Amino acid sequence: MPEIRFQIAWPDNSLDSCYSPSLVVKEYFTPDTEYDLIDFLERSRTALNIASDRVKAKYGFPCGLALGQLQDIEAKALQYSQLEKPKVKFIKFNN
């Protein structure tokens, strides 16, 4: 199963490198695009849950790394939820 990493910038311009066990994230994000925080969270939840489900279908168990990545994203997003119109920039996919 092809995995991929991607880089994002949070509203305070701090950078994170994120992981997905599936290329499905390419269907939900566009490089060099800003997303409202809520939209970014919804896209992340959808894409990483699909990725985890694909691992489960193939190997019989969900992907702990994908679910852990989602937990990390959700936890970090809480730090910015009180800002007015917070945005997350999807920088790029890393091969």
Q: Please list the alpha-helical segments (H only) found in the chain.
A: 37-59, 64-78
In the chain, how many domains are there?
1
Global pTM value: 0.94
Contact (Cβ atoms closer than 8 angstroms) between residue 7 and residue 18: yes
Q: For residue 66, how many other CB atoms are within 10 A of its CB?
A: 27
pLDDT in tens, 52-75: 999 999 999 999 999 999 999 999
Burial class (CB in 10 A: 0-12, 13-18, 19+), 27: exposed
pLDDT in tens, 16-38: 999 999 999 999 999 999 999 99
Domain that holds residue 38: 4-94
